[in-house]
């Protein structure tokens, strides 16, 4: 049983953090409000009577230890994750609790796998990075599409976003990633991540109806390029983004998302089309829903619920499709996400 268990949420007053708090409460957990800004924490706590606010800084390990005391797990929603992931994972390891984050930053996820796999495995605990729209969802879809295949030649992840109004956190993370890459693009090919200065191609992608064929920007590599090949034998992972959404993201004047319903979701809709190919054979999995930030909350919270009830396949640092039963996990996301797997 998970009802009543306390789950610390770091970066709780951010855009995604607020969705995570709501989802935790809906699932019967008790969120612990954790973040760097004590004033913002108190303001959020005032709107959630009974929830405890615990200030903590990634530069102060003792404060993180105090913040995680009594927690059954921690969900990190505070980007840029290249700055927050390692300190919060360290604190989780000291506390002996599982860690989940919603990092879309490729470099941060690479660092998590590289630096913590052995330690987390030795400690017998679980660390799941990128358990969000980017990284987690694509990985679950690719794993479900693979089915009984043990390998594939390539995976394609096409993001059909109606628009993309990036949050302040998304922009900050993008700036940090761009600096680490020296402005270069990144792709997963030949079994590894490759940095390059090639111009991204504009292509046509035949999304399932009702979206249909749309213009997409190729080589729009996201966290799936880390999560999928970590456990699936696929030497090429290609990603695509609808051109309208890519333009929104690149435009510094695009405003942040605006709530249009009582859940705080924006009007943005998405369709994620994942195709895996082996020789002449092709398998597909498709997910659709509303608001990429809002949907990251049920992904992260479902992960925590499964970890705390022992519905996992491994320990250590793991991708979503590696540690969870992908088809079952995807079914559990209803009504937040509609999924169809075609094998």
Q: Residue 2: what pLDDT? A: 64
Give the DSSP letter string of 62-119.
HHHHHHHTT-SEEEE--S-HHHHHHHHHHHHHHHT--EEE----HHHHHHHHHHHHHH
Q: Is 147 helix (H, G, I), strand (E, B) or coil?
A: coil
Q: Residue 40: what pLDDT? A: 94
| H/E run at residue 274 | strand 269-278
Residues 6+ apart with CB under 8 A from 49: none
Show the tokens assigned to 180: 């680490």
Q: Can you tell me which residue has the tokens 């996400």? A: 337
Q: How far is CA 113 from CA 32, 125, 173, 189, 273, in A?
A: 26, 14, 19, 19, 26
Parts of the chain belonging to CATH 3.40.50.720 = 6-131+296-327
- Helix 61-68 with 81-95: angle, nearest 10 deg: 60
Q: Residue 1: what pLDDT? A: 55
Widest distance between CA atoms in the chain: 58
Residues 6+ apart with CB under 8 A from 133: 104, 270, 292, 293, 295, 296, 299
- Cis bond leading into 340, ω under 30°? no
Parts of the chain belonging to CATH 3.30.360.10 = 133-292
The CATH class that applies to domain 6-131+296-327 reads alpha beta
Contact assessment for residue 276 and residue 283, using Cβ atoms and an 8 Å cutoff: yes
Distance from C-alpha of 199 to C-alpha of 185, rounded to nearest angstrom:
9
Q: Which residues of the chain have a pLDDT value below 50? A: none
Distance from C-alpha of 265 to C-alpha of 12, rounded to nearest angstrom:
17
Q: Residue 317: what pLDDT? A: 98
Q: Residue 209: what pLDDT? A: 87
Contact assessment for residue 86 and residue 115, using Cβ atoms and an 8 Å cutoff: yes
Beta strand pairing call for 269-278 and 316-317 = unpaired
The CATH topology of domain 133-292 is Dihydrodipicolinate Reductase; domain 2 (3.30.360)
Q: Residue 287: what pLDDT? A: 98
> Which class for 34: exposed (0-12), middle (13-18), buried (19 or more C-beta within 10 A)?
buried
> b or e along 82-120 (b: 16 or more beta carbons within 10 Å of the residue's beta carbon)?
bbbbbbbbbbbbebebbbbbbbbbbbbbbbbbeebeeeb
């Amino acid at each position: 049983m998970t009802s009543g268990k306390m789950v610390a949420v770091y970066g709780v007053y951010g855009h995604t953090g607020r969705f995570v708090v709501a989802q935790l409460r809906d699932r019967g957990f008790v969120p612990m409000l954790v973040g760097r800004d004590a004033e913002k924490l108190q303001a959020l706590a005032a709107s959630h009577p009974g929830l405890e606010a615990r200030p903590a800084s990634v530069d102060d390990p003792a404060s993180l230890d105090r913040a995680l005391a009594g927690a059954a797990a921690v969900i990190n929603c505070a980007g840029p994750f290249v700055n927050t992931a390692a300190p919060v994972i360290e604190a989780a390891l000291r506390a002996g609790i599982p860690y989940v984050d919603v990092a879309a930053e490729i470099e941060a996820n690479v660092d998590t796998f590289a630096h913590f796999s052995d330690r987390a495995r030795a400690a017998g605990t679980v660390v799941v990075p990128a358990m969000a729209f980017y990284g987690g969802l694509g990985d679950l879809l690719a794993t479900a599409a693979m089915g009984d295949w043990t390998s594939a030649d390539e995976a394609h992840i096409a993001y059909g976003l109606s628009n993309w109004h990036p949050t302040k956190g998304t922009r900050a993370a993008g700036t940090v990633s761009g600096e680490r890459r020296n402005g270069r693009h990144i792709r997963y090919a030949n079994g590894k991540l490759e940095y390059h200065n090639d111009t991204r191609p504009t292509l046509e992608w035949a999304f399932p109806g009702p979206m249909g064929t749309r213009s997409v920007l190729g080589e729009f590599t996201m966290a799936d390029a880390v999560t999928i090949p970590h456990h699936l034998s696929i030497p090429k992972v290609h990603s695509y983004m609808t051109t309208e959404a890519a333009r929104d993201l690149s435009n510094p004047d695009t405003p942040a998302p605006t709530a249009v319903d009582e859940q705080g979701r924006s009007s943005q809709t998405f369709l994620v089309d994942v195709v895996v190919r082996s020789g002449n054979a092709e398998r597909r999995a498709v997910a659709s829903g509303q608001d990429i930030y809002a949907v990251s909350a049920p992904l992260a919270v479902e992960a925590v619920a499964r970890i705390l009830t022992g519905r996992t396949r491994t320990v250590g640092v793991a991708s979503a499709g590696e540690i969870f039963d992908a088809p079952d996990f995807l079914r559990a996301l209803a009504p937040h996400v509609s999924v169809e797997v075609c094998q």
